[in-house]
Amino acid sequence: MRHLAIASPLRLSLLASIAALAACGGGNGQSTNASIPAPPPTPSFVDSAQIPDVPAFVDNIATNQRGDARYATLGTNAGVRVVSRFLDIWQPLTEIVDAGVSAPANGSFPAVVQSTWTGLPNDGTPGGAVLNSAVHAANIQFVVNETTSRTQAQADAAYYDDRRGKGYSVTDGMGPLTSAWRAAAQQTTSITTIPADATTVLYNDSGNNTGVGTSGGNAGFGQVVDLLNAMGANASTEPAKRFYKYARPYRWSTSVVVDPTLVPAESTTPTTDGGFISGHEAEAMRDAMTMAYVLPERFQEMASRGLELGENRIFAGMHSPLDVISGRMFALAATAANLSASANATLKSNAFAQAHAALMQATNTNAATFAAFAHSGTTTTDRFADYGTNKANFIRRMTFGFAPIESTDAPPVVPKGAEVMLETRFPYLSADQRRVVLKTTELPSGYPVMDDAEGWGRLNMFAAADGYGAFNGSVVVSMDASQGGFNAADLWRNDISGTGKLTLQGSGTLALGGNNTWSGGAQVNGGVLQAQSANAFGTGDVYVGAGGVTIAASSPVTVAGNYTQLAGTTLELDIDGTGAGRLRVGNLITIAGGTLHVKLVNGYSPKAGDVVELIDGAGSMKQFTTVTVDGHKATPVYTGAGVSVHIDS
């Protein structure tokens, strides 16, 4: 790399004159009397997400029991309570955990008498009441539609996700890391093909599901398996099933076509085989989110895999959308509760470290290359390789096309403890900040079942993994590159709105890739703020007081307000000759020193005599201390309308 250091006003004038001949106009456009604009004002408040004033699942998960009179009601069982908005749609025969269950009285809690519910909604016996016929009909019709139009590939996926252990099944969401994960966990399955006689014979997985833990001698990966198994504590869906007593879809309608290979799996005891909630989805999503916790490099892909398994339950004909939605909600609550448990504090930390050490060794990667390897698959080898497809499917599977049935503008609500699920994804944010991430990325209110009092239903874990959805008040992000991983570099892809201000400090690189509209501006006090989209910086000012800014978008990047850069800072422009990497400043540009680094990308190689346009913006103070252009000698050209470089050689 060769560069030109700007040494004197005389040299500046001379160079500008030379560039003017080549670029039709020039001059240094400098004024030593110009003042440096102030940074964007910092709001006086910091956004927060208050804990709902209701009993918290994370505090009461131990009440999720069946066969215990103390925990047999909506008011006493946390697992039943998480999905209680189903009572807007369906009135169970009794509001007791009593389907196929009885229990003696316990203190002041009366005995539980086994329900007379038969599990067969059309057998003429009392079985409960539909309260919202439109939602109920849509719920069953969705299953009819999916089971009568499913492809063979969808039927096969439904079979595997039904018969295999859920912990084994979801690990294919790891993409390029799947084989390494399964080998390290020592996972096995006996369901490797669909047998020819699967339509008449029930095959159960005799594999080990999540793998071998420390007690089995797995020294290198056992704590990861131990953590997955620990997430199952008090996480049974049976109490909810036995409370809500809502039949499986094929029992509601003969038009539902159960996958023929799964007909042998149909229960012969419908009184204990309710459809609401989906146990497969709850376990799969719990496993997927725990894997996302220990391996956040695949966070969104694993969350997507969890929801995919839920839809496969619908393709199978075994569950309805509301069954699956409720299973997802319950899984998030159970995962957060068990990750929050003090008894698991050391285990989850050790599991995170062990997962990375073992998988890096198995894939011959290191801290600098591991994340790239984790995303090195193609859509042929990794069905979660396409970000846009994952995002669209995730949103679709959160609601399965249901329209809101209530107000869509209720305030956001974040459950107590939910922020723990983002602990490893955003290690540089505080717990309060992670709660705000959940708050600003959750779904609108109003969808069936999803408006629980705590907020589990509206959490959008895919969007949450892309950072803040809005900047409200002062948002200060401090990253430490020396810690590696996401502490060193991260990308936020949400479309960030709001009137707040972003302040970056520390030494890491924070990239913004959304169509952002926040208006309070950005201030860089350390680290690097990188633009990967045209509107990455929102609609306010950008003030670079320390650290630097990188323009790495595939199109010109706009700073709608002022752009100010002080001495000792760096601006990197990744230029490809077709507009990528250019900076356009809508208001005043002030450059009071610092370094301009022009990085040539995508094979772009200007020749001697070319003038490369870099920055558009009016301002009387524009002077970098140092300008470098990769592989070239170049002369900076400052004009009243912007900055360019003349390629000398």
Query: Distance between CA 83 and CA 450 in Å, rounded?
Result: 8
pLDDT of residue 24: 33
SS (H, E, C) 140-176: HHHHHHHHHHCCHHHHHHHHHHHHCCHHHHHHHHHHH
431-461 pLDDT, tens digit each: 999 999 999 999 999 999 999 999 999 999 9
- Domain 57-189+218-266+276-441 matching CATH 1.20.144.10: the answer reads yes
Give the residue extent of every domain in the chain. Answer: 57-189+218-266+276-441
**Structure-block tokens of residue 419:** 């922020």
**Structure-block tokens of residue 413:** 């609500």
Tokens 């994952």 correspond to 390
Q: Which whole number is the average pLDDT over 158-166?
A: 98
The mean of the pLDDT values for the chain is: 95
Question: Would you place residue 33 in the very low, low, confident or very high pLDDT band (cuts 50, 70, 90)?
Answer: low
Backbone φ and ψ for 489, nearest 5 degrees, come out as -155, 135
Question: Would you place residue 8 in the very low, low, confident or very high pLDDT band (cuts 50, 70, 90)?
Answer: very low
173-221 pLDDT, tens digit each: 999 999 999 999 999 999 999 999 999 999 999 999 999 999 999 999 9
**Structure-block tokens of residue 584:** 């356009």
Closest to 143 measured CA to CA, from 255, 278, 305, 3: 255
pLDDT of residue 620: 87
Question: Would you place residue 503 in the very low, low, confident or very high pLDDT band (cuts 50, 70, 90)?
Answer: very high
For CA atoms 9, 11, 14, 16, give the dihedral sign: negative
359-370 pLDDT, tens digit each: 999 999 999 999
Cβ contact 19:611 at 8 Å: yes
Strands 563-565 and 522-531: unpaired
Query: Distance between CA 80 and CA 59 in Å, rounded?
Result: 14
Q: Which whole number is the average pLDDT over 241-269?
A: 98
* Residues contacting 469, CB < 8 A, separation 6+: 437, 440, 441, 463, 494, 495, 496, 497
Beta-bridge partner residues of 511: 491, 530
Share of the chain above pLDDT 70, in %: 95
Query: Distance between CA 571 and CA 60 in Å, rounded?
Result: 51
Q: Which whole number is the average pLDDT over 513-537?
A: 98
Range of weakest confidence among 26-30, 87-91, 320-324, 643-647: 26-30
Q: Which whole number is the average pLDDT over 240-268?
A: 98
**Structure-block tokens of residue 559:** 């700073």
Cβ contact 47:436 at 8 Å: yes
Question: Would you place residue 13 in the very low, low, confident or very high pLDDT band (cuts 50, 70, 90)?
Answer: very low
Residue type, 606: P
Residue type, 6: I
Bond before 96 cis per omega within 30 degrees: no
Residue type, 359: L
Query: Distance between CA 604 and CA 613 in Å, rounded?
Result: 14
pLDDT of residue 16: 39
Cβ contact 618:641 at 8 Å: yes
pLDDT of residue 20: 37
Question: Would you place residue 4 in the very low, low, confident or very high pLDDT band (cuts 50, 70, 90)?
Answer: very low
Query: Distance between CA 529 and CA 143 in Å, rounded?
Result: 47
Cβ contact 195:201 at 8 Å: yes
In this model, does residue 3 exceed pLDDT 50?
Answer: no
**Structure-block tokens of residue 641:** 């309308």
**Structure-block tokens of residue 181:** 């994960």
**Structure-block tokens of residue 515:** 């169509």
Query: Distance between CA 34 and CA 32 in Å, rounded?
Result: 6
DSSP assignment letter at 400 = T
In this model, does residue 14 exceed pLDDT 90?
Answer: no
Determine the 3-state secondary structure of 139 from DSSP.
Answer: helix
In this model, does residue 268 exceed pLDDT 70?
Answer: yes
pLDDT of residue 591: 97
